[in-house]
Structure 1
Amino acid sequence: MSFPVSAITLDLDDTLWPFAPIGARIERVLDDWLRRHCPRTAERFPIPAMRALREQVFAERTDLAHDFSQLRRLSLARAMELSGDDPLHADTAFEVFYAERNRVEFYDDAEAALARLAARVPVAAVSNGNADLAVIGIGHHFAFSLGAREHGAAKPEPSIFHAACERLGHAPGQVLHVGDHADLDVVGAHRAGLRSCWLNRPGGDGGIARWPHADLRPDLEFPTLTALADWLDATQPALARPAPLAATPPPESCPA
């Protein structure tokens, strides 16, 4: 399939890097920190119990479903309060969490392929997570980053896709959204009027997932980001990166 692409919106977690190793490391590092600084919390909430408490807080605060950072802070403060530690430690504990959250290990192809995509068209990050592209070191590849916390709603809500398209200066049908999640990324983009690419990376056993929906399919499906960059080269060889868009000031926000 071939169609024009004027810009790309790109998911981050499990698209540029796997999140599971990050999540496991965060739990270990936070547990070590709590044992040193909030021992009563660490004793009452070892890793499995802390995970269960976090899920409970997430379930209670559906109004904050778009804001993983605030949910994480609330979870830490709740654990400290229940354990008899000072909940003011939650801010420092969050800083420990956030430093680890931004230590990522890219998929082997991701950085080079991202550079190829960004050399052709504007690329914007659209994520429900709270990664900091500047801290990670890839912010220069992106026109901007739009997170669910900043926007106030998470994928698959159409509004976050539409907001990204507006800032890119292109109609939704001219923008290709790329991500790993069938529902949040592909179905969400499709319903918002964007083109969609399902990045269906092989699992640990080398197999790839089957598309789960019968009523719609992604416009594109690739096992690597390199394959998408190859497709862009092959189908749109004359495409050149347009002049930078006039800057649209992002809404005021706090760090994720």
Structure 2
Amino acid sequence: MLNLSKIQAITLDLDDTLWPVWPTIARAEVVLQDWLALHAPQTALLCAQPGVKQAIRAAINQRHADKAHDLTFLRREAIRESLLRAGEAPHLADAAFEVFFAERQNVQLYDGVQPALARLAARYPLVGLSNGNADVFRTEAGPYFQAAVSARVFGVAKPDARIFHAAAAQLNLPPEAVLHLGDDATTDVLGALLAGMQTAWVNTQGHDWPHDLAQPLTVSHLAELCDYLLA
């Protein structure tokens, strides 16, 4: 169980903890495809073919395996590769990515997350800690956060202990004084535990606990955990 008396700050995963990620990505893909139809029509036609985008993305991921932590780089390079294969100007990848990325920030928080963040932020400093490439400060969750640490910028991804320690360092706190909240049982919960943090599992998808270690405090929604912490 949590040692509430030791918790001085909270780090939070973003995608699938505060908002559902795949509807967000799907909307961004549509906006990108519409932009390509106007500015790079041959690329738009190519990407509309079944399986083509997935195959290009897989090839880019394999080619740049050392960049697995940097989803921004991988997405931009997949767009660039699509342009090249379609015979259109590869420099358009930068503008195309920015269109995608702007819509990527247009997230829709889970019901109850906004008031939960407001309550938590009134008591604890909050830091975003994500393997994804969402910019929390460009989302409606942004006003409640003091800082953010991303795998893309830091250079390694959760569950590597170093990124958890970097988040604690942002707060000038030892890891044991920080509570990490996230939806992924491995990258978030197990990673935080092995990094010396306290943790709770925000199990929004109703998954079974997959590890031999005792299951930590588990809630289905951030608001539920908020009630526990602030009772």
TM interval, short-chain normalised? over 0.9
AA at the equivalent of 2:128: A
Would you say 1:168 and 2:171 are equivalent positions?
A: yes
List structure 1 runs of 4+ shifted beyond 6 angstroms.
none
- 2:196 maps to 193
Pairwise CA distance, 1:166: 1.2
Work out whether residues 2 and 199 of structure 2, in 8 Å CA contact, stay in contact via their aligned partners in 1. no
- 1:77 maps to 80
Pairwise CA distance, 1:219: 2.9
Taking the aligned partners of 1:139 and 1:24, their CA distance within structure 2 comes to: 22
What TM-score, normalized to structure 1? 0.85
AA at the equivalent of 1:67: D
What TM-score, normalized to structure 2? 0.94
What are the equivalent positions in structure 2 for 1:119-198 lying under 5 Å apart?
Answer: 119-198=122-201
Alignment RMSD (CA, Å)? 1.4
- 2:12 maps to 10
Aligned residue pair count: 228
SS in 1 for 2:122: helix
Taking the aligned partners of 1:19 and 1:72, their CA distance within structure 2 comes to: 15
Pairwise CA distance, 1:60: 2.2
- 1:228 maps to 225
Show CA shifts across 1:29-84 (max 9, x none). Answer: 21222122111112222263113211221232111111111111111111111110
Taking the aligned partners of 2:104 and 2:155, their CA distance within structure 1 comes to: 21
Work out whether residues 84 and 90 of structure 2, in 8 Å CA contact, stay in contact via their aligned partners in 1. yes
SS in 2 for 1:176: strand
Pairwise CA distance, 1:134: 2.4
Show CA shifts across 1:140-168 (max 9, x none). Answer: 21120111111111111110000111111
Taking the aligned partners of 1:148 and 1:226, their CA distance within structure 2 comes to: 26
Which stretches in structure 2 are left out of the alignment for 5+ residues? none
